């Protein structure tokens, strides 16, 4: 898998999706992929961030993570998104990033990318599945190849059984409630494997 290039693009307010993205990066590198870990640009005003100590702490702790650009999409064979839910949809920071990719889309440079997604919310039925599906809708317009985990590994069931993508509940302590690390690793490796098949076939 050394020739597969994976961009992990996340948005995280208080750190859950950053953690998911970090686990994905570890799994991808262990599988031999070339990995970029980047974040969607923060759009919230400083006053809102400062009003939430966990949000401020995460912003400060992730200053070293580069902001995602169109080049990260163009470069990649595979793209893994991780984004929290906002009223059953992806957070606006990620939506803004996706909505500004018209140039690449018009050139056909987003077609046939292997893509997958993960999500989080503050309760078990807080919209994680709808959020992932809202992101996949945009991917269908791109002509990308959606690589959902389905029920292809026991880790999916251990993580709560979401076939669309790994999803997690954020506990009161700010950490994931479900045991999802293995599911993240499986989803990431499945995405890389599929991207490898696509790349080899196109060659």
* Model pLDDT for residues 100-124, shown as the tens digit of each residue: 999 999 999 999 999 999 999 988 8
- Report the alpha-carbon distance of residue 179 to residue 162 in Å, rounded: 13
- Report the alpha-carbon distance of residue 56 to residue 154 in Å, rounded: 36
pLDDT of residue 129: 96
Mean pLDDT taken over the chain = 95
Percent of the chain with pLDDT over 70: 99
Q: What is the CATH number of the domain that holds 90?
A: 3.40.50.360
- Report the alpha-carbon distance of residue 145 to residue 28 in Å, rounded: 18
Q: Give how many domains the chain has, as a whole number.
A: 1
- Report the alpha-carbon distance of residue 122 to residue 144 in Å, rounded: 29
Residue 1 has pLDDT above 90, yes or no: no
pLDDT of residue 176: 87
Q: Over the stretch 31-42, which tens digit does the pLDDT of each residue have?
A: 999 999 999 999
- Report the alpha-carbon distance of residue 23 to residue 1 in Å, rounded: 18
- Report the alpha-carbon distance of residue 43 to residue 60 in Å, rounded: 15
pLDDT of residue 2: 53
29 confidence band (pLDDT: 50, 70, 90)? very high
Contacts of 94 (CB under 8 A, 6+ apart): 9, 11, 40, 81, 83, 135
- Report the alpha-carbon distance of residue 125 to residue 108 in Å, rounded: 36
Residue 161's domain spans which residues? 5-202
DSSP state of 170: B
3-state DSSP: the chain helix, strand, coil percent, rounded to 5? 45, 20, 35
As a whole number, mean pLDDT of residues 54-61 equals: 94
């Amino acid at each position: 898998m050394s020739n597969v290039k994976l961009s992990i693009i996340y948005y995280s307010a208080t750190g859950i999706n950053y953690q998911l993205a970090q686990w994905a990066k570890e799994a991808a590198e262990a599988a031999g992929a070339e990995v970029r870990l980047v974040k969607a640009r923060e759009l919230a005003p400083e006053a809102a961030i400062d009003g939430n100590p966990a949000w401020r702490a995460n912003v400060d702790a992730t200053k070293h993570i580069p902001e995602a650009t169109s080049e990260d999409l163009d470069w990649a064979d595979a793209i893994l998104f991780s984004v929290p839910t906002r009223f059953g949809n992806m957070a606006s920071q990620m939506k803004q990033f996706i909505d500004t990719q018209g140039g690449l889309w018009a050139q056909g440079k987003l077609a046939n990318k292997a893509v997958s997604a993960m999500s989080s919310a503050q309760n078990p039925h807080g919209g994680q599945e709808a959020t992932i599906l809202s992101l996949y809708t945009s991917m269908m317009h791109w002509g990308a190849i959606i690589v959902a985990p389905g029920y292809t590994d026991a880790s999916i069931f251990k993580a709560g059984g979401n076939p669309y993508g790994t999803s997690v509940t954020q506990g009161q302590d700010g950490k994931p409630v479900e045991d999802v690390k293995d599911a993240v690793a499986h989803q990431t490796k499945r995405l890389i494997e599929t991207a490898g098949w696509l790349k080899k076939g196109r060659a």
